[in-house]
Structure 1
Amino acid sequence: MRVAVYAIGHEGKWRIRRSLDLRVDVLWWGQRFCATPGSARMVLLSAATALSSAVRLEQRFEPRTEMSGWDPRKWGLWFRERMEEEAGRGMNGDAALGGQALFGGSGEVLHSGTGVWMWDFRQAMPEQVLRLLERPAGPGQAAGALAELGGMSDALVERVSGRSLLAAEVDALLQEMAPGLAGAWHSAAQLASLQGRLALDAGLADAGPRRGGGLLRMGRPRLPRCRRCGSEATGRTPCAACGRADCAYCEACLALGRSRACSLLLRSAARDPAVRAAAGPSTAAVRGRWGLSAAQGDAACAALGFLAEPPRRGSAAPGGRADRPLAPARHARFLLWAVTGAGKTEMIFPLLGAILERGGRVLVATPRRDVVLELAPRLAKAFPDTRIVTLYGGSDERWREGDLTLATTHQLMRFYQAFDLVVIDELDAFPYHNDPMLAYAAEHACKPDGKFVYLSATPPRPLQKEAARGRLPHAKVPVRFHGHPLPVPKRIALKSIEQCLRQPMLLKRLSSHLSLSLERGAQIFLFVSRIRHIDPLVAILRRMLGGVCIEGTSSEDPFRAEKVTRFRRREIRLLVTTTILERGVTVPRSDVFIADADSSLFDEASLVQMAGRAGRSAEDPAGRVVFASPQWTISQKRAVNQIKSMNRIARKNGYL
Structure 2
Amino acid sequence: MSYLQLAHLNRDIKLENGLNIKEYREWRRGYQKRTIYSCKRCGSGEESLYWSACHFCGQECPYCEACLTMGRVRFCSLLLSGGTADNGRLMVEDARQSFGHLENYIKPWGLSEAQTRASLEGLQFITGERGKDRHGLLAKEPRKFLIWAVTGAGKTEMIFPFVHITVANGGRVLIATPRKDVVLELQPRISRAFSDYSVVTLYGGSEQRWEQGQITIATTHQLMRFNEAFDLVIIDEIDAFPYHNNPMLAYAAAKVCKRSGVNILLSATPPKGVRQAAERGHLPHVRVPVRFHKNPLPVPELIAAPSLNKSINTRALPNSLFAKLVASVERGAQLFVFVPNIRLVEPTVDLLRVKLQGGNMLCIEGTSSKDPDRTERVHRFRNRDIRVLVTTTILERGVTVPKSDVFILDADSKLFDEAALVQMAGRAGRSKDDPAGMVYFAAKEITRSQKEAIRQIEKMNRIARKRGYFERGK
TM-score, structure 1 normalization? 0.67
Tell me how far 1:239 sits from its aligned partner: 3.3
Determine the C-alpha separation between the residues in 2 that align with 1:525 and 1:207: 51
Matched position secondary structure for 1:340: coil
Bigger Rg, which one: 1
Cα gap change, 1:220/1:301 in structure 2, threshold over 3 Å: closer, same or farther?
farther
Match of 1:303 in 2: 122
Determine the C-alpha separation between the residues in 2 that align with 1:193 and 1:209: 31
Match of 1:495 in 2: 306
Whether 1:235 and 2:50 are equivalent positions in the alignment is yes
Match of 2:14 in 1: 199
What pairs with 1:153-302 in structure 2 (closer than 5 Å)? 186-209=1-24, 215=28, 222-232=35-45, 233-244=48-59, 246-275=60-89, 276-277=91-92, 278-279=95-96, 285-302=104-121
Determine the C-alpha separation between the residues in 1 that align with 2:242 and 2:179: 8
Q: What is the percent sequence identity of the aligned residues?
A: 54
Cα gap change, 1:378/1:596 in structure 2, threshold over 3 Å: closer, same or farther?
same
Tell me how far 1:508 sits from its aligned partner: 4.2
Determine the C-alpha separation between the residues in 2 that align with 1:363 and 1:558: 31
Tell me how far 1:270 sits from its aligned partner: 2.1
8 Å Cα contact 1:204-1:260 kept in structure 2: yes
Match of 1:621 in 2: 435
What is the total number of aligned residue pairs between the two structures?
Answer: 460
Match of 2:143 in 1: 332
8 Å Cα contact 1:458-1:608 kept in structure 2: yes
Determine the C-alpha separation between the residues in 1 that align with 2:100 and 2:376: 45
Cα gap change, 1:614/1:203 in structure 2, threshold over 3 Å: closer, same or farther?
same
Determine the C-alpha separation between the residues in 2 that align with 1:380 and 1:528: 37
| Greater CA drift, 619-628 or 191-200 | 191-200
Match of 1:87 in 2: none
8 Å Cα contact 1:250-1:259 kept in structure 2: yes
* Corresponding letter in the other structure for 1:203: G
Cα gap change, 1:220/1:564 in structure 2, threshold over 3 Å: closer, same or farther?
farther
Matched position secondary structure for 1:545: helix
| Greater CA drift, 458-467 or 496-505 | 496-505
Match of 1:602 in 2: 416
8 Å Cα contact 1:283-1:297 kept in structure 2: no
What pairs with 1:277-426 in structure 2 (closer than 5 Å)? 277=92, 278-279=95-96, 285-314=104-133, 329-426=140-237
Tell me how far 1:391 sits from its aligned partner: 0.7
Determine the C-alpha separation between the residues in 1 that align with 2:261 and 2:11: 22
Structure 2 residue ranges without an equivalent (≥5):
none
8 Å Cα contact 2:176-2:219 kept in structure 1: yes
Determine the C-alpha separation between the residues in 2 that align with 1:273 and 1:604: 41
Tell me how far 1:506 sits from its aligned partner: 4.5
8 Å Cα contact 2:86-2:260 kept in structure 1: no
8 Å Cα contact 2:105-2:164 kept in structure 1: no
Determine the C-alpha separation between the residues in 1 that align with 2:382 and 2:10: 58
Tell me how far 1:191 sits from its aligned partner: 3.2
8 Å Cα contact 1:316-1:448 kept in structure 2: no
Tell me how far 1:423 sits from its aligned partner: 0.6
Tell me how far 1:308 sits from its aligned partner: 1.1
* Corresponding letter in the other structure for 1:347: M
* Corresponding letter in the other structure for 2:20: A
Match of 1:549 in 2: 363
Match of 2:380 in 1: 566
Tell me how far 1:221 sits from its aligned partner: 6.5
TM-score, structure 2 normalization? 0.91
Q: Which has the higher contact order (CA 8 A, sep 6+)?
A: 2
* Corresponding letter in the other structure for 1:523: Q
Cα gap change, 1:423/1:514 in structure 2, threshold over 3 Å: closer, same or farther?
same
CA offset digits 1:166-216 (Å, max 9, x no partner): xxxxxxxxxxxxxxxxxxxx12212332443321112211144378xx959
Determine the C-alpha separation between the residues in 2 that align with 1:553 and 1:443: 35
Determine the C-alpha separation between the residues in 2 that align with 1:566 and 1:220: 62
Tell me how far 1:529 sits from its aligned partner: 0.5
8 Å Cα contact 1:315-1:448 kept in structure 2: no
CA offset digits 1:260-281 (Å, max 9, x no partner): 2232211112233324543496
8 Å Cα contact 2:105-2:165 kept in structure 1: no
Q: Alignment partner for residue 589 of structure 1, among 368, 382, 403?
A: 403
* Corresponding letter in the other structure for 1:265: L
8 Å Cα contact 1:389-1:404 kept in structure 2: yes
Structure 1 residue ranges without an equivalent (≥5):
1-185, 321-327
Q: Alignment partner for residue 339 of structure 2, among 511, 528, 535?
A: 528
Across the aligned residues of Structure 1 and Structure 2, the Cα RMSD in angstroms comes to 2.5
Tell me how far 1:409 sits from its aligned partner: 0.8
Match of 1:436 in 2: 247
Tell me how far 1:235 sits from its aligned partner: 1.8
Matched position secondary structure for 1:206: strand
* Corresponding letter in the other structure for 2:4: A
8 Å Cα contact 1:524-1:575 kept in structure 2: yes
Determine the C-alpha separation between the residues in 2 that align with 1:317 and 1:436: 30
Matched position secondary structure for 1:453: strand
CA offset digits 1:468-496 (Å, max 9, x no partner): 12221111111111111110000001122
8 Å Cα contact 2:24-2:33 kept in structure 1: no
Matched position secondary structure for 1:441: helix
Tell me how far 1:287 sits from its aligned partner: 4.4
Tell me how far 1:622 sits from its aligned partner: 0.4
Cα gap change, 1:285/1:387 in structure 2, threshold over 3 Å: closer, same or farther?
closer
Tell me how far 1:524 sits from its aligned partner: 0.3
Determine the C-alpha separation between the residues in 2 that align with 1:331 and 1:347: 21
* Corresponding letter in the other structure for 1:509: S
8 Å Cα contact 1:282-1:301 kept in structure 2: no
8 Å Cα contact 1:597-1:636 kept in structure 2: yes
Determine the C-alpha separation between the residues in 1 that align with 2:355 and 2:412: 24
Cα gap change, 1:220/1:492 in structure 2, threshold over 3 Å: closer, same or farther?
farther
Tell me how far 1:640 sits from its aligned partner: 0.8
8 Å Cα contact 1:315-1:329 kept in structure 2: no
Determine the C-alpha separation between the residues in 1 that align with 2:33 and 2:384: 57
Match of 1:5 in 2: none
8 Å Cα contact 2:106-2:120 kept in structure 1: no
Match of 1:478 in 2: 289
CA offset digits 1:508-533 (Å, max 9, x no partner): 43222111100100000000111111
* Corresponding letter in the other structure for 1:295: A
